[in-house]
A = this chain, B = another copy of it.
Amino acid sequence: RDYSIALIPGDGIGVDVIREGRKVLEAVCEIDGGLKFDYTEFDWSCEHYARHGKMMPDDGLERLRGFDSIYLGAVGYPGVPDHVSLWGLLLPIRRAFRQYINIRPVKLLRGIRSPLAGRSAEDLDFIVIRENNEGEYSSMGGRMYEGTPLDMAIQNSVFTRTGVERVLRYAFRLAQANGKRNRLTSATKSNGINHTMPFWDEYVGRITAEYPGVEVSNVHIDALCAFFVTKPDTFDVVVASNLFGDILTDLGAAIVGGLGIAPSANINPEKEFPSMFEPVHGSAPDIAGKGIANPIAAIWCVSMMLEHLGEAEAAKAVLEAVQDVLEEGQVLTPDLGGKASTRDVGDHICRKLRLA
C-alpha cells in the first residue's frame, strides 16, 4: 500500500498545520510497516503569486492529476485579492478534478465542550454533504453601468441535473448506509429563491423514490441554521448546495468547537481524479508563523484521507489519538484554552498514536 500525496501547504498557518499532518502520516507508517506515502511538495501560494504572477504554474492541474490525494493547507494573504488566491488555486482544483462532494463532519470530539448549553457528543454527530462544483459559485454574471447611478451587478446561480443528481445520490446513499437514523435533511430556500431551489427540491423528490427507507425532510436554510443551534441532535445527513453547505459547515464547526478543529474532504467519488483534503479554516495571516495555530483540523483531514484511501483502521487510530489528546486536556493550542504550540500538539498526537 503505497500512496502518492501532493502537499500544498499554501499560505499563512496552512504551512504550520500541514507540517503536523505530515508528521502524523509518518507516525502512522511507523506503526503499520505495510503502509507508505510518497510526498511531493508544491510551493503554490500567494508567495508564488508574488514571484511568478500566478498561484500555480499553467500546467499545475496537469501535474496534480496523477496523485492519489492532495493535502492542502490554506490559501490567501492580505493584499492578494480572493479572485487571485482562491479562484487561482483552490476552486479550480475542486472543479477540474470533479470533486463535486465536500464532506464535512459536524461531530463533537471527546474532550471538546460545545458552546451550546447542555449538549454532549451524543447530540452532536452528523455529516454535511456540500455540493462543491456549481450552484451559487458558478462565477457567471457581470456588471453594467459602472460609474453611473444605474450601476448594477448580476450573479447567476447555475444548477444542472447532473450536478444536483450526483450530490443528492451520494447523500442518499450515505444516509442509507451509515445513517444512525436514515434521515436526510435537504437545505432549500424555495420560498424565496424561485427557480433554482424548486429545481433542487424537485430532484430531491424524485430521488427519494430510489432510496426507500431514507426519511427526507426539506428545510429552508434560514430555519435550518436555527435548528443547528436549537435541535442539532435531530440531524443525520444534511445535503446542501455550494453556498448553503458553506454556511452550514462553518456554523456546524462553531457548535462543535470551532474552526481550529473542522476538517473537510473534497471528493471525486469515481476516483478518476485525486481528492483533496483541507481544513475548513483559512490562512489566518494574523497568527501565521506564531506557532499557535491548531493543527487538529489538518490532522483530522489526514484521518479522512486515510479513510478515502481505504485505510479505515489507520483513519480510526488517528482520530482516536486526537481525541485522547483533547480529552487529556494538557496539550492544547490557545483557541482551545491551552498554551501549547502547533508543534507540541502534533508531537503529542504522534505519541498517543504510538502508544495505542
Contact = CB atoms under 8 A, between A and B. Distances in A.
A63 to B, nearest CB: 25
Interface in A195-242: 195-199, 221-223, 225-230, 242
Nearest to A262: B226
A154 B250 contact: no
Interface stretch (A37-45, A159-167, A271-279, A289-297): A159-167
A356 interface: no
Nearest to A223: B250
Contacts of A246: 189, 192, 221-222
B155 A193 contact: yes
Looking at A151, A153, A196, A221, the one whose CB has the most chain B CB atoms below 10 A away is A153
Interface in A103-120: 113-118
Given A143-B195, A194-B83, A157 B160 contact: no
Given A161-B152, A247-B221, A87 B194 contact: yes
B159 A157 contact: no
A136 interface: yes
A195 B153 contact: yes
A142 B191 contact: no
B157 A155 contact: yes
Interface string A327-343: 00000000000000000
A149 interface: yes
Contact of A226 (B194, B242, B259): B259
A229 B251 contact: yes
Given A115-B117, A156-B156, A223-B250, 18 more contacts: A83-B198, A87-B194, A141-B156, A141-B194, A143-B199, A151-B160, A151-B161, A152-B161, A153-B158, A153-B159, A154-B157, A155-B156, A155-B197, A193-B243, A225-B225, A225-B251, A226-B259, A229-B255
20 contacts: A83-B198, A86-B191, A141-B156, A141-B157, A141-B195, A149-B161, A151-B199, A152-B199, A153-B199, A155-B196, A189-B246, A192-B242, A221-B247, A222-B246, A225-B250, A225-B251, A227-B254, A228-B251, A229-B255, A230-B258
